[in-house]
Amino acid sequence: MSITPAERINHETDEVETTLSRSRPWGVQTERTARFVSQRIDAQVRGDIQQVPTADFEDAVETALANDPTADIVIGCLPFDPDDSAVFICGVDESALGAEQSDLRHTGSARIRSVIDVPDVAEYEQRVADVLRLIEEGTLEKVVLARSKLAAADAPIDPQLLLEQLRASSPHGFGFHIPLVDGGSFVGLSPELLVERDHLSVSSHPLAGSRIRTGHSGADEARIADLRASGKDAREHQLVVKAVAEGLAPYCSDIIVDDQDTTATDSMFHLGTWIRGSAAADESGHLPSASALARALHPTPAVCGAPTEQAREVLRRVEGDRGYFTGAVGWQDRDGNGEWAVAIRGAMIDGSTALVSAGAGIVAGSEPRSEAEETGAKLRTVLSALGLGEQVSR
């Protein structure tokens, strides 16, 4: 008897569920340091870890800041599923005080001993094929399907060291280290700006459509040309640009959509588009905060799909709980200025294990094998910083 795509994608993965749920005891508070680094700031705050429900991103950020009246800014992560909890640390920006104020413990002695695919590559390719059938049937236009690798080391993994190693591999992007209530951390270097508000100025730089970098200039130029000429990648990208421009429209005036660019990370090329506008005050004179703008945009089709609700439903059935992966990570001040990056190219560190996840946009014309290769290359960005990389082939 043949299995339908809907039946197959009911698959659940115990290792991932366990790692994610261990990160979520409620109401625990312990003082730790969080860091967020971008072209705009290098912020480090020390305070209690606050885990708050997030029916609404803006309310959650405001609740966290209200809980700590002495704090200037909040750094934290917002979940992929808004029914889930967010984690914040509020405080005074201590980055100017130097590293001795932080939790830095650069032991660097952890060696990765084993890596498990979750799901295995064949199952991921089957899921892509199943989603392609749903797309063919006309139910959906795009779904961003993710897979993970669970790496186990012989000693606790140092999250600060991982962040430094990621930053050494790529000078751009949004570096983050968010401590979690169970003692674990969410660490990464995202290339994608969900939204930034700097007083009146609002910007977003969605990415979608990718090629793997070879590291050889001639071959890389050919890959960039191929990416720019690809109708499939243009469709995948334009779905995101349209959603972001429409999402910002109620909150901004003078929205300008730039020409498409190519954004490079250490391992990937992506199609990107800057979308900018001026923050518009509501009837009581309030400007939309960075988190209100993040709420309006999340989840974009760069991490979920289109139409959003149908894609989200597929992801719930296929992948289960994504936790903070493909949520948002960033900072915000009391005036609502801030930056929220898309929470990709990161790892959930739990003692001596690291759960690394990556997704790829599936649209008509996608091929299961190349989507597995693309997610493999995205995973390698983080795995290399953990000291793996070439040893992990796909």
Ligand X SMILES: C=C(O[C@H]1C=CC=C(C(=O)O)[C@@H]1O)C(=O)O
Residues annotated catalytic, as ranges = 142, 192
Contact between 34 and 177 under an 8 Å Cβ cutoff? The reply is yes
Choices 81-89, 120-128, 217-225, 354-362; region in contact with ligand X by CB under 6 A: 354-362
Choices 99-107, 171-179, 331-339, 356-364; region in contact with ligand X by CB under 6 A: 356-364
Q: Is 380 in the site for ligand X (CB under 6 A)?
A: no
Smallest separation, CB 137 to ligand X (Å) = 22
SS3 content of the chain, % helix, strand, coil (to 5): 30, 35, 35
From the list 270, 298, 322, 380, which residue makes contact with ligand X (rule: CB under 6 A)? 270
Give the integer Cα–Cα distance in Å for 69 and 222: 54
The amino acid that residue 377 corresponds to is A
Smallest separation, CB 210 to ligand X (Å) = 4
From the list 303, 304, 348, 349, which residue makes contact with ligand X (rule: CB under 6 A)? 303
Give the Å distances, CA to CA, from 333 to 218, 290, 342.
44, 9, 18
From the list 378, 380, 383, 384, which residue makes contact with ligand X (rule: CB under 6 A)? 378
Smallest separation, CB 379 to ligand X (Å) = 9
From the list 354, 358, 383, 386, which residue makes contact with ligand X (rule: CB under 6 A)? 358
Contact between 65 and 298 under an 8 Å Cβ cutoff? The reply is no
* Per-residue contact flags (x/-) with ligand X for residues 36 to 75, judged by CB under 6 A: ----------------------------------------
From the list 16, 207, 293, 328, which residue makes contact with ligand X (rule: CB under 6 A)? 207
3-state helix/strand/coil string of 333-367: ECCCCEEEEECCCEEEEECCEEEEEEEEEECCCCC
Q: Is 192 in the site for ligand X (CB under 6 A)?
A: yes
Which positions lie near ligand X, rule CB under 6 A?
A: 144, 192, 207-210, 270, 302-303, 344-345, 358-361, 378
